[in-house]
Structure 1
Amino acid sequence: MSSRNPISIEVLEILDAIDRRGSFAKAAEELNKATSAVSYGVQKLEEQLGIALFQRQGRRSVLTPAGQLMLEEGRRILSTTVRLASAAKEVATGWEPRIRVAIESTQACPLFYDILAAFLQQHASIEIDLSECTLNGGWEALDKGRVDLIVGAPGPVPLQKGYRAIPMGTGILVPVIASQHALASQTQDSDQLQAVLPKLRRIILHDTSQADIARSEGLSSGGQNFYVQTIEQKTEAIIAGIGIGHLPRQRIQGLLDKGVLQELDLGVTNNPENFLAWKISNKGKGLQALTQMLAAAHWE
């Protein structure tokens, strides 16, 4: 066997065509080759590998187990080469192969994923690398070049950073307690609530900022805190009766309607303004197309 790899894109295309069209002659017609050339290509590969790819069954040639493996893996290689060619062409014309997106943990997700799905239908070769951020974490990730786009990051927008920031409206954060919490019955009257508030543990979402000064947002307290990494963890901790905290209304309206959670009347609202932001210096056409779709959405 030659030390040179005998498996070429051309011979993989021949195997694929033979299998799909059912014969060497029809495969040759599709590939615009002579039938003898198709037969020779298969025979040469068999000789170089020292294996049989086809065996005769009556008048038909069918793949051997080794031939079937060659066909299946070969199709994956052909698919990869198609994507590679498309990605290379897009990069050459200003379309980046991957967009890194960070979404704020409190952001309602269904609309966001619907937009991503529509974007990927139009730009199937672009990869999306999605992460979650909280408070200053998104701005820091954008500043350090870890992400290309942040969605739903809370204001204020950092100044003199070269950002393009588009308001996405205000998020509605609701202070809640679990109905099963031992002190829940004492939180429905405003006077009782103020008296019992210092006894209630606060569930706090970690700021994902790594280098900049982290901040927290929500219920202030001199009492005990319980820290979590994600909004899902915060929701579950509150439902379990561990403590209280702010949660985005769009995510928990069903739990409020079912009576699993109760809203706390603190007399103040916490509705931070959220932003869609990216660096002006990023000229990627994929990013431009995605931000246009996100900016046109109705987030409230």
Structure 2
Amino acid sequence: MRNAITLDAIRVIDTIHQKGSFAAAAEALFKVPSALTYTIQKLETDLGVVLFDRSAKRAILTPAGYLLIKEGVALLKATSQLEEKIHQLESGWETSLTIAKDTIIPDQQIFDIIGSFCQLDKQVEINIIEEALGGGWDALHSKRADIAIGLTGELPKGQFDVHQMGSVEFVFVVANQHPLANFIGLLETQHIKQYPSIVVADSSRTLPSRSSGIFESKQTIRVSNMQSKIQAQVQGVGVGFLPLHLIKYHLAEGTLIAKSCALPRPATPIYMASEKGKQGKALNWFCQQLKQQDWFK
């Protein structure tokens, strides 16, 4: 089925509207006025509507004409953007890139990097998704993400390019109003298990889920991200280990108190990864930028 409205017709109508007359629009479009008149008359006939009120000296759009321009100009812009994206893709720049960010990664540094990328003026749609524990590996494995950062655990062999981002130190903390806040000495299991523990749930969809920092406790409360876990512990809902780089402010102001704990929790190596052999200028740019950051200062 042939559509009556074409991009060329939209462009003609918009130019007539902007210039105020068929003659001025014809000059701007490097066409003769009769060609524009034919285009408009044919479109009006095909649609069965009048697009311009010709009773005045200036070409004035009818309500139907205004609607066509309102929707049509958006189509022109979308078409122009599509053409730019096609040329961009041909030059090696992807049209979209998805980064899976583990919940232990600070937002500020990610947005700083994205801000720098925007200065390149490339039409690449950037998607940030948040994952926890094995969710980052799962996002790569299921191709929900092009890059994953903040990865932990056993490294897959051969399938991904992996780079260590650093190590995260975890500390056992309680709220300043929690019963354990005034405890003196080394916290043992019998002291801790009397209180609820706050745990971040694994976000994996297809790979087996993992657990981290779980210990024997009166009750387990699972949350979806590290910020919720921090907030729950600040409010004294429960206890648990938290990444030192995310709670320095709380420790400094005294809303959280670090306690010596007999439960082992060594520093955890943190990685970023992308699929091996995957090409793309945006992916390569982000990988280079991500590798240069000091993430856990």
TM-score normalised by length of structure 2: 0.86
The reply on whether 1:144 has 2:142 as its aligned counterpart is: yes
Q: Counterpart of 1:286?
A: 282
User: Which deviates more from structure 2 when the two are superposed, residues 210-219 or residues 31-40?
Assistant: 210-219
Separation (CA, whole Å) in 2 of partners of 1:257 and 1:25: 72
2:70 aligns with 72
Do residues 179 (structure 1) and 184 (structure 2) align?
Answer: no
What is the percentage of aligned positions where both structures have the same residue? 32
Amino acid at match of 1:104: D
Question: Which of 218, 234, 239 pairs up with 1:239?
Answer: 234
Give the match for residue 216 of structure 1: 211
C-alpha displacement of 1:67? 1.4
Other-structure match for 2:260:
265
List alignment gaps of at least 5 residues for structure 1.
none
Whichever residue aligns with residue 257 of structure 2, its letter is Q
- 1:248: which partner in 2? 243
* Equivalent in the alignment of 1:113: 111
Alignment counterpart, residue 227 of structure 1, candidates 215, 222, 231: 222
Provide the rounded CA distance (Å) in 2 between the counterparts of 1:163 and 1:127.
23
How many angstroms does 1:193 deviate by? 7.2
- Deviation string for 1:183-222 (max 9, x for gaps)? 14434x2246776322122111112234444322225335
The farther-off stretch of 108-117 and 248-257 is 248-257
CA distance in 2, matches of 1:93, 1:192: 59
Q: In 1, distance between residues paired with 2:14 and 2:259? A: 64
In structure 2, relative to structure 1, the CA distance for the partners of 1:124 and 1:93 (3 Å cut) is: closer
Q: State the AA in 1 paired with 2:193.
A: P
Q: Secondary structure at the match of 2:78?
A: helix
SS in 2 for 1:169: strand
Alignment of 1:63-212 (within 5 A): 63-122=61-120, 124-158=122-156, 160-181=157-178, 183-187=179-183, 189-191=184-186, 196-212=191-207
CA distance in structure 2 between the aligned counterparts of 1:192 and 1:133, rounded to whole angstroms:
31
Asked if structure 1 preserves the Cα contact closer than 8 Å seen for 2:175 and 2:181, the reply is: no
TM-score normalised by structure 1 residue count: 0.85
Post-superposition CA distance 1:223-273 (Å, at most 9, x none): 421112222332332233220123334433333344333333337665322
Where does structure 2 lack aligned partners over 5 or more consecutive residues?
none
**What is the DSSP-based 3-state SS (H/G/I as helix, E as strand, rest coil) of the residue aligned with 2:44?**
helix
| 1:122 partner SS | coil
Report if the CA contact (8 A) 1:107-1:248 is conserved.
no
Which segment is superposed worse, 224-233 or 100-109?
A: 224-233
Aligned counterparts of 2:19 and 2:40: Cα–Cα separation in 1: 15
Native 8 Å contact 2:93 2:281 kept in 1: yes
Deviations 1:96-119 (Å, cap 9, x if unpaired)? 322222111111111102212332
Amino acid at match of 2:101: I
Check the 8 A contact 2:151/2:271 in 1, yes or no.
Answer: yes
> Separation in 2 of the partners of 1:64 and 1:207?
58
Secondary structure, aligned partner of 1:95: coil
| Secondary structure of residue in 1 paired with 2:64 | helix
